[in-house]
Chain A
């Protein structure tokens, strides 16, 4: 059975960071935004550990902890206290509360994992679980909207993916569809007659079969009231019309944990290639940055000892490119990988302008990089 972790914090930011920290582990993370909610979730889910913020509205961490300790069913649950206040007196006060450990903000995700891992048995998700699907795998999208034009629009907007879109106009039809096959993701119009979108959402969440399927609400941009209602109800995300399909695809990919890293990482001729695209946006930077360590480790695990940083498609080597490149090359050094950088003369000259990259040695092609790497000498990072 997967271990359950409950994070109780009034800051959604902290809850998201904690959830993200455990993303690659085989566990379930539950969230609550104050002590009252925390106690309710703890009673319902019986978590294996609670990460508890100290300062919260409605009921703070100290009060929640004392209520936990006075409840025979909950008192054995280990608690790690999280606080922004590291003063000696505060630390002593926390230690006396009966917590198993405490963490001071700011904190690294790795530290939360390490501290939790000391108390409960955390296992990495198996390879098959982590990489269940890629962005270019077949995905079944169910669209529930009473306007055929919207169904057609979504079908057309996703037509450059291998995903299949099924349209249904009424909630009853959607429930019938779900009883026959399980969609990967469901897009529901929030403006279906008589609040149909909301009642469908409740039905989907009440069913064991569909309760884990992400449900997005479709709403006109200006219909703020129904969007707020949907957020409160627990819709996975809100998609506003007119639909930005690039945004929709990224949200679907994120909700389904689809692997997009293959666009940038490739294993070729016994070498891991990290290829940055011409259009190097902050989104690309995040996607590559989030996958860098795991992809390089994976390559090392599979016996590769060389990496090529390919900047040949990059238009401009600005500071964001340099920073990412530097992270990649430092990781290579850390893991003793031979490495090499490919780039045009223009990009090479731009890199010389930065302290961090002024010593990078460039080659022009992948073949030249292979020759350098097979020659035995690592390129300076």
Chain B
């Protein structure tokens, strides 16, 4: 559907994370599962057009807090509740998908973005419907793990 989706996602995540968080990010197929017992946060933004889909950014709760802290220049104690983390994860997802949208738009595949949403939990999976292409990418962010899941559907 989008042959170089891996490259597009990798470029988007790398640029957003290095610019906003000063984090070096690289695709790392060796860390292919979220294997600790900690709760997870997933930020998601959808895009609708000739190609439609949803992109999810998953991380552990603690990494999401670290990213929020770094993004806002706040200490961990200053992050009040989950709201700030949710907003930060939503904004990071929005930037990654905004980057993807721009590349698709330049290829004559314009689309519009949905508002960001957040899922939190300990044991959850996203299950695509049968007509949907699903791609999962694992990133190593200076030793921490970020998972990006893309669901794609052509029209």
Does residue A87 face the partner (Cβ distance < 8 Å to B)?
A: yes
- Interface positions, chain A 264-307, Cβ under 8 Å from B, are 281-283, 286-287, 290
Does residue A254 face the partner (Cβ distance < 8 Å to B)?
A: yes
Instruction: Decide: A84 near B142, CB < 8 A? Known: A17-B72, A250-B77, A282-B76.
Output: no
Contacts of A90 in B (CB 8 A): 102, 105
Does residue A85 face the partner (Cβ distance < 8 Å to B)?
A: yes
For the residues of A in contact with B, the DSSP-based class is helix
Of the candidate stretches B3-11, B25-33, B83-91, the one touching chain A is B83-91
How many of chain A's residues touch chain B, expressed as a range?
35 or more
Contacts of A238 in B (CB 8 A): 80
Query: Within the complex, which residue of A12, A14, A20, A86 is in contact with B73, where a contact is CB–CB below 8 Å?
Result: A20
Q: Is B76 in contact with A89, judged by CB distance below 8 angstroms? A: no
Chain B 12-23: CB-based contact to A (< 8 A → 1; otherwise 0): 000110011000
Could you tell me the distance between the alpha carbons of A251 and B78 in the complex, rounded to whole angstroms? 7
Q: Is B20 in contact with A106, judged by CB distance below 8 angstroms? A: yes
Could you tell me the distance between the alpha carbons of A250 and B69 in the complex, rounded to whole angstroms? 14
| In the complex, number of A-B residue pairs with CB atoms less than 8 Å apart | 94
Does residue A334 face the partner (Cβ distance < 8 Å to B)?
A: no
- Interface positions, chain B 65-112, Cβ under 8 Å from A, are 66, 68-78, 80, 83-84, 87-88, 90-91, 94-95, 97-99, 101-106, 110
Interface-centre pick from A57, A88, A282, A287 (highest chain B CB count, 10 A): A282
Interface-centre pick from B69, B72, B74, B98 (highest chain A CB count, 10 A): B98
Q: Is A13 in contact with B71, judged by CB distance below 8 angstroms? A: yes
Q: Is B115 in contact with A286, judged by CB distance below 8 angstroms? A: no
Does residue B113 face the partner (Cβ distance < 8 Å to A)?
A: yes
Instruction: Decide: A237 near B66, CB < 8 A? Known: A106-B19, A286-B75.
Output: no
- Distance in Å: Cβ of A14 to nearest Cβ of chain B: 6
Chain B residues with a Cβ closer than 8 Å to the other chain, count: 39
Query: Within the complex, which residue of B72, B78, B88, B113 is in contact with A55, where a contact is CB–CB below 8 Å?
Result: B113
Q: Is A283 in contact with B76, judged by CB distance below 8 angstroms? A: yes
Could you tell me the distance between the alpha carbons of A366 and B76 in the complex, rounded to whole angstroms? 32
Q: Is B95 in contact with A106, judged by CB distance below 8 angstroms? A: yes
Could you tell me the distance between the alpha carbons of A268 and B99 in the complex, rounded to whole angstroms? 47
List the interface of chain A (C-beta within 8 A of B).
11-14, 16-17, 20, 55, 57, 83-90, 105-108, 237-238, 244, 246-247, 250-251, 254, 281-283, 286-287, 290, 319, 323
- Distance in Å: Cβ of A88 to nearest Cβ of chain B: 6
Interface-centre pick from B76, B77, B78, B94 (highest chain A CB count, 10 A): B77
Chain B, residue nearest A260 (CB): B75
Interface-centre pick from B15, B16, B75 (highest chain A CB count, 10 A): B75
For the residues of B in contact with A, the DSSP-based class is helix
Could you tell me the distance between the alpha carbons of A17 and B20 in the complex, rounded to whole angstroms? 10
List the interface of chain B (C-beta within 8 A of A).
15-16, 19-20, 66, 68-78, 80, 83-84, 87-88, 90-91, 94-95, 97-99, 101-106, 110, 113, 115, 142-143
23 pairs across A/B with beta carbons < 8 Å? A11-B90, A11-B94, A13-B72, A13-B90, A14-B91, A16-B72, A17-B72, A57-B115, A83-B98, A84-B98, A85-B102, A87-B104, A107-B19, A107-B20, A237-B80, A238-B80, A246-B77, A251-B78, A254-B74, A282-B76, A283-B76, A286-B70, A319-B143
Could you tell me the distance between the alpha carbons of A106 and B18 in the complex, rounded to whole angstroms? 9
Q: Is B143 in contact with A286, judged by CB distance below 8 angstroms? A: no
Contacts of A13 in B (CB 8 A): 68, 71-72, 84, 87-88, 90-91
Contacts of A287 in B (CB 8 A): 75
- Distance in Å: Cβ of B94 to nearest Cβ of chain A: 5
- Distance in Å: Cβ of B1 to nearest Cβ of chain A: 19
Could you tell me the distance between the alpha carbons of A107 and B90 in the complex, rounded to whole angstroms? 16
Instruction: Decide: A12 near B99, CB < 8 A? Known: A106-B16, A107-B19.
Output: no
